[in-house]
Chain A
Amino acid sequence: MSQNVKNNSEPFFSLKNLKLLTWPLDSNNPISVQVLGICSALAVTAQLKPALVMAVSVTVVTAFSNLIYSLIRNTIPSRIRIIIQLVIVAMLVILVDQILKAYVYDVSKKLSVFVGLIITNCIIMGRLEAFAAANKPWQSFLDGIGNGIGYGIILLILGFFRELFGSGKLYGYNIIPENFYIHGYENNGFIILPPMALIMIGIIIWIQRGRNRKLIETR
């Protein structure tokens, strides 16, 4: 009990809590280290705009589902926890969908399929199982935000390169000047295909682990 009181009086942004926020950005990145959320990373990164909206919505859903699940974690029997988790996630996804429809209708019309994909995004349930099930609400909330941002970084890197080299645009605007095309430059149509996204994630992992040698798998 005494420890409980002590933990409650801990400042909201103590060093330990900030660490939760920054840890998933690099050395515990959801995509390149934990291998969660790959399907959507392949599906939405052919262009930058859907990648950005997906990153923001996943961050919001992960953070709030972590918070809600962590608040009620002690009252759930472990036998029915999967159904409860999915109900929480589905509820939040429907909320996000409705908000997108209300405020950015043209984007939401393009993205309606991807928003449905958030339900089956493994990051959300992976963090619920691995973190929120055993930690306090505020820490779980920070963990959700950190993981969402870590996921978003990879999505934006992929979206940037795939849109730039695949269709010569960024965020829908033409970037590669017309002159290049006249002199024989061509967009690489191959980079739009999903297999190329897999290979690019492989290269990102290569670079990341080259910098951060602690992550190298020794098997």
Chain B
Amino acid sequence: MENLFNLFIRSVFIDNMIFAFFLGMCSYLAVSKTVKTSMGLGLAVTFVLIITVPVNWLIDNFLLKQGALTWLSGQFKDLDLSFLSFIMFIAVIAAMVQLVEMIVEKVSPALYNALGIFLPLIAVNCAILGAALFMQEREYGTISEAAVFALGSGIGWWLAIIALAAIREKLKYSNVPLPLRGLGITFILVGLMAIAFMGFMGIRI
């Protein structure tokens, strides 16, 4: 229990997907204009993460890893299918994103229009494939660890996008040089936020 809590805090703050690994930048920069839409996107990304990472954990541990197929028959104990992990992970993610797109379209058409092309682009949001690959690389022992890691990364991403959106809403009232307005100042802002977050680097809990 203690361990899971540590893992959660670590994946939210120290191993933050945006500020430590710079994953999922495209939709992060493009959709963070208002707090409301970024709430929606953050929720969608967290949701996709919570589902795909445990599913990919199951696939990795019961199909792909070396010796993973021994539950089927003892003769597979030398079989290593992990070269298939890219395509399996991406297929699971794409299917999930399609599902989320249909749900959002039904439940909230306004949010669907606000997110536009960046809703299907969650499928290629590097944060999601990145989380699946980190899960494989760090060899989480149980499915609950994988799920907590996914929840933490999702919430970390969500916090980051809301923080940026809140700053951008305030920024509307400041006198930014004309050519720098909008996207330009946002890039510089994210750079400065990332430098600040580098303070978390290397902390051990």
Contact = CB atoms under 8 A, between A and B. Distances in A.
Interface of A: 32-33, 35-39, 42-43, 79-80, 82-83, 86, 90, 116-117, 119-122, 124-126, 129-130, 193-199, 201-203, 205-210, 213, 216-217, 219
Given A79-B102, A86-B90, A202-B188, A125 B124 contact: yes
B182 A219 contact: yes
B98 interface: yes
Contacts of B87: 90
Nearest to B181: A217
B194 A198 contact: yes
A198 B196 CA distance: 14
A33 B26 CA distance: 11
B184 A90 contact: no
Interface of B: 22-27, 29-30, 86-87, 90-91, 94-95, 97-98, 101-102, 117, 120-121, 123-126, 129-130, 172, 177-188, 190-192, 194-195, 198
Contacts of B95: 83
Contacts of B177: 206
A36 B27 CA distance: 8
A35 B124 contact: no
Contacts of B178: 209, 213, 216
B155 to A, nearest CB: 20
Given A32-B183, A202-B191, 17 more contacts: A38-B25, A39-B23, A39-B24, A39-B25, A86-B90, A119-B129, A122-B121, A194-B22, A199-B191, A201-B187, A202-B180, A202-B186, A202-B188, A205-B183, A206-B184, A209-B184, A219-B182
B112 to A, nearest CB: 14
Contacts of B187: 198-199, 201-202, 205
A182 B95 CA distance: 58
Which 3 residue pairs across A and B have the least CB separation, nearest first?
A217-B182, A202-B187, A209-B179
B123 A219 contact: no
Contact of B180 (A42, A196, A205, A219): A205
Nearest to A208: B179
Contact of A80 (B23, B98, B188): B98
B97, B123, B192: most-surrounded residue (chain A CB, <10 A): B123
A33 to B, nearest CB: 8
Contacts, number: 128
Given A126-B117, A219-B182, A119 B195 contact: no
B183 A35 contact: yes
B130 to A, nearest CB: 8
A130 B25 contact: no
Given A37-B26, A205-B183, A83 B94 contact: yes
5 contacts: A35-B183, A37-B26, A121-B124, A195-B194, A199-B191
A168 to B, nearest CB: 22
Contacts of A217: 181-183
Contacts of A125: 120-121, 123-124
Contact of A120 (B98, B120, B129, B191): B129
Contact of A82 (B123, B188, B191): B123
Contact of B198 (A195, A203, A213): A195
A38 B22 CA distance: 9
B125 A120 contact: yes
B86, B123, B187: most-surrounded residue (chain A CB, <10 A): B187
Nearest to B23: A39
A79, A86, A203, A210: most-surrounded residue (chain B CB, <10 A): A86
